[in-house]
Structure 1
Amino acid sequence: MVTIRLLGPPAMDRPGGAAGQPRGRKAWALLAYLLLAERPPARGRLAELLFADADDPLGALRWTLAELRRTLGVRLDGDPVAVTVDPATVVDVRRVLAGRPDPAPLLDVEGELLEGVRLDSCLEFESWLVVERHRISALVEARLREAAAGLLAAGRAADATPFAARAVARNPLEEGNHELLIRCLTAAGDRVAAARQLAVCEDLFDRELGVEPSAAVREAAGGSTGSAMMPPLGGRAAAVSQLEAGQAAIAAGALEAGLQCLRRAVAEAGRCRDTGLRARALAALGGALVHAVRGRDGEGVVVLHEAILLATEAGERATAVTAHRELGFVEVQAGHRLTGEAWLARAQELAETDAEHAAVLGVRGMNASDRGDYPAAFARLEESVERARRGDDERQEAWSLSLLARAHLLRGERAQATAALDRSLDLVQRQRWLAFLPWPQILRAELDLHGGDTGAAADSLEQAWSLACQLDDPCWLGMAARGLALLHTAHGDHPAATEWHLRASSVCSRTPDRYQWVHGHVLDAAVTTAIERGDHERAVPLTTALATLAAHCDLRELTVRAHLHRHALGDATALSSARLLAADIDNPALTRLLRG
């Protein structure tokens, strides 16, 4: 089997070690760009991107394409240039992108995309490559975690451990990776290794970050949640009772009591060997861990994987839809676009009712919007709103309308954003959905700020901040603090604005399972304010942080904005790089900025 390796030092492996590799770094650069481009690029664009320093750029491109055809056996035809790889040829980066059912090859992935390849004369390509390296690295890490969680949920902790260990090796400062590895070691019965890994994590975080790992990491070394040790409660009826009580308690905000009931429901359903009921209880517990408790996504993911296994076995279609959707939501919040979309696409395939479709489409629309794919976002969110109306699900309608409004707001379409937000707020208030109210309030306040109504914006933001503090929700706190920073900027109170920007960044990133888009949105606002004030000393490190986060989480629009900030800070090449990276983003507001 022929293998084309683009992860690590680029190379081609043939049976028997036969010779014949593409000559030159630009050949490998061209191949990687063609394989990873969202759509076939024009020959003129490729010549400009990689061969602008040649006497005959188009001639140099033709020669390089011919070199790739000769040595790799790939088809490279037409204008735009389409690449076709023989089905018998394995391309490592495509295998990662596709997410093959067998995760074993992930353990062989070493190094970064085009490791060792540097084209100092092609600065636009270098900018593209930096972003792609972050994106592919994050995807490999997400695939490793997904494989480990799936194997752990299936009772194969020993098989899961190498995947979790590799995730830690790739990103040792990601708390969730350590938590997952510790869970695997504990479940495999190696408590000594689990304790050792906990100590490694604690020392590393103290040395590099000056913080302690969260309680979830320490508790992972303790093994069972405790539900299996609880005495029998009386069979299936008791399990159903505990499930219903747990869901009611979570809805009422009594988190600890609700989680205890749900864990009991899981344990009792297992004792009475009711696979379907245990699947439903696990899905409820996983959803509660993901949505209601901060810092528990790691445990929630494993629980949801187990729920899918049991729901599939028992034919619990609706439960499978819920668990797939929740796993997709976790991945979307973490900035794992492809893995999130895969879970959500499967949920969509299983969904039957309007309510189920509305919920899944809402998260898919959120994912597309986060990535800057506005056509897909609008299509999915509008369908979600319509299906929620048909299904008489006012909360889902309000949720999807708020995301629709956010997309319009980011595109500068304020009238459409206002219409969607007013409807969302009306539904939220009618439902008395206080846990969600800060989000549309904050977006409405930003519209008021754009319209010059600072009084209305102040009222909304102060209410949202107060409620977010009561809810202790990092996402709402970060967004509200960002809005208050912008409000103080509008009033000319720059010291207060800086203080609120600092607070926004701190509160929205304080948990490992944060919503990465909000973190990036907060950083972007802080950079913008610093540049407008001429505070380049503060703006430079913030821009670097934004660029790294946006590339790692495939936040394409924020990646472009980071390059625009670099241009404003004096980087003469950053504007052309921003334009290259924005080529597929349909946002009129961003287009105006790119005109320079």
Structure 2
Amino acid sequence: MNELSLALLGPPVVKRAGAQVTFDTRKAIALLALLAVTGREHTREQVADLLWPDADEAKARGSLRRTLSVAAAAVGPALAITRTTVGLVPAAVDVDVREFETLLTRKDAAALERGVGLYRDDFLAGFTVRDCPDFEDWQASVREELKQLLARGLQRLVAACVAAGELERAIGHARRWLQLDQLHEPAYQAMIRLYEWTGQRSAAMRQYRSLVHVLDRDLAVRPLPETTQLYEDMRAGRLAAPPLPTAAAAVAVAVASATGTADQVAALDWPLVGRAAELSALRSAWRSAGAPGAPGADGARG
């Protein structure tokens, strides 16, 4: 762990050597958030224009100098300041946004679990800087991008839990997925299936009725045909059973549940549901092709 850490998923928290740091100006936090998320240096002129858009050049530069002095005193050498630029030293700072983005690109369930766990709330939740419209636009853009990344991560976690036979666990992730967007039909579809698969038909029916109400109230439209068909199949008892759990997925989800860490489980490919025999044949062929001495093998590792 580095000496400086920035937790920006939720209300911003800045810590140095484990102790929380406070500032007498909110623009110091805005500056650190900008540098941490963009991951690059910015010129002094760029920062001054962003955070003091209505001030004349001399006043904006003076305000920036004071803010940099306050920030540097609080966070130490992790803040790199020159006569023309300002930035953060990447190797000296832990940023939850960057870790979140990295973990949600991983394939294993443990990494996804840890990643979504970092998301305390929306980016810089509750944090505002007055009279800085360009910063507000940037903040809103980052917030929406990270919410979409969380939604995709939760969708993948639901699929991983279903593949592992962890249906109750999948419901928890699907519920959080749905909370991100009350108009997102794929999340409703997942909830309907999961409730039906776990013997909660009344809950599944309520989920569909809730969707109908929300769509009618907010958009004046009906659910998609596939959602309605899913509902009718459930009512008629025609809904397909959940896929049989796969061993690889079960291991990944079990490790995620037990440890919550990504480093204690190898990256696992997503299962081919219903194609276990074909997947086994492909793996066998791959091993044969890569075995030492096999045609096309490259030394000890083909």
- TM-score, normalising length from structure 1? 0.36
Partner of 2:43: 42
Does the CA-based 8 Å contact 2:9-2:118 persist in structure 1? no
CA distance in 2, matches of 1:90, 1:111: 18
CA distance in 2, matches of 1:144, 1:217: 20
* AA in 2 matched with 1:45: Q
* AA in 2 matched with 1:96: F
Matched, 1:307 2:272: yes
Show CA shifts across 1:184-210 (max 9, x none): 333344333222222222221122222
Partner of 2:296: none
Describe how 1:201-220 pairs up with structure 2 within 5 A. 201-218=211-228, 219=230
Match of 1:9 among 8, 11, 20: 11
SS in structure 1 of the partner of residue 14 of structure 2: strand
Alpha-carbon RMSD: 4.1
Show CA shifts across 1:432-487 (max 9, x none): xxxxxxxxxxxxxxxxxxxxxxxxxxxxxxxxxxxxxxxxxxxxxxxxxxxxxxxx
Match of 2:183 among 162, 173, 176: 173
Describe how 1:8-407 pairs up with structure 2 within 5 A. 8-12=10-14, 18-37=19-38, 39-52=40-53, 53=55, 55-72=58-75, 75-78=78-81, 80-85=85-90, 90-100=94-104, 101-107=111-117, 109-218=119-228, 219=230, 222=234, 226=240, 305-307=270-272, 314=280, 316=282
C-alpha spacing 1:137/1:312, structure 2 compared with 1 (3 Å)? farther
SS in structure 1 of the partner of residue 190 of structure 2: helix
Unaligned runs of 5+ in 1: 229-265, 276-303, 321-596
Deviation at 1:98, TM superposition (A): 1.6
Does the CA-based 8 Å contact 1:148-1:161 persist in structure 2? yes
Deviation at 1:175, TM superposition (A): 1.2
C-alpha spacing 1:165/1:21, structure 2 compared with 1 (3 Å)? same
SS in structure 2 of the partner of residue 77 of structure 1: strand
CA distance in 2, matches of 1:312, 1:5: 44
C-alpha spacing 1:134/1:59, structure 2 compared with 1 (3 Å)? same
Partner of 1:365: none
C-alpha spacing 1:36/1:315, structure 2 compared with 1 (3 Å)? farther
C-alpha spacing 1:165/1:69, structure 2 compared with 1 (3 Å)? farther
Does the CA-based 8 Å contact 2:188-2:208 persist in structure 1? yes
How many equivalent residue pairs? 249
Structure of higher RCO (CA pairs closer than 8 Å, 6+ residues apart):
2
Does the CA-based 8 Å contact 2:49-2:60 persist in structure 1? yes
* AA in 2 matched with 1:30: L
Describe how 1:580-591 pairs up with structure 2 within 5 A. none
Partner of 1:411: none
C-alpha spacing 1:201/1:115, structure 2 compared with 1 (3 Å)? same
Deviation at 1:68, TM superposition (A): 3.2
Deviation at 1:20, TM superposition (A): 2.6
* AA in 2 matched with 1:170: L
C-alpha spacing 1:307/1:210, structure 2 compared with 1 (3 Å)? same
Deviation at 1:102, TM superposition (A): 4.0
CA distance in 2, matches of 1:180, 1:73: 47
* AA in 2 matched with 1:43: R
SS in structure 1 of the partner of residue 41 of structure 2: coil
CA distance in 2, matches of 1:208, 1:44: 44
SS in structure 1 of the partner of residue 45 of structure 2: helix
C-alpha spacing 1:14/1:103, structure 2 compared with 1 (3 Å)? farther
Q: Which has the higher helix share?
A: 1
Describe how 1:444-523 pairs up with structure 2 within 5 A. none
Show CA shifts across 1:311-364 (max 9, x none): 9973737x99xxxxxxxxxxxxxxxxxxxxxxxxxxxxxxxxxxxxxxxxxxxx
* AA in 2 matched with 1:71: A
CA distance in 2, matches of 1:177, 1:197: 10
Does the CA-based 8 Å contact 2:96-2:118 persist in structure 1? no
CA distance in 1, matches of 2:77, 2:276: 43
Deviation at 1:14, TM superposition (A): 7.7
CA distance in 2, matches of 1:184, 1:14: 43
Does the CA-based 8 Å contact 1:6-1:113 persist in structure 2? yes
C-alpha spacing 1:72/1:177, structure 2 compared with 1 (3 Å)? farther
CA distance in 1, matches of 2:68, 2:282: 51
CA distance in 2, matches of 1:225, 1:157: 16
SS in structure 1 of the partner of residue 146 of structure 2: helix
- State the identity as a percent: 28
Unaligned runs of 5+ in 2: 105-110, 248-268, 287-302
C-alpha spacing 1:106/1:5, structure 2 compared with 1 (3 Å)? same
Deviation at 1:172, TM superposition (A): 0.7
Show CA shifts across 1:199-229 (max 9, x none): 222221122222222243341773875489x
CA distance in 2, matches of 1:28, 1:95: 19
* AA in 2 matched with 1:20: V
Does the CA-based 8 Å contact 2:40-2:88 persist in structure 1? no
- TM-score, normalising length from structure 2? 0.66
Does the CA-based 8 Å contact 1:99-1:143 persist in structure 2? no
CA distance in 1, matches of 2:87, 2:281: 43
CA distance in 1, matches of 2:95, 2:220: 40
Does the CA-based 8 Å contact 2:9-2:122 persist in structure 1? yes
CA distance in 1, matches of 2:241, 2:175: 27
Show CA shifts across 1:78-130 (max 9, x none): 5543323566x653322322235142452463443222333342222222222
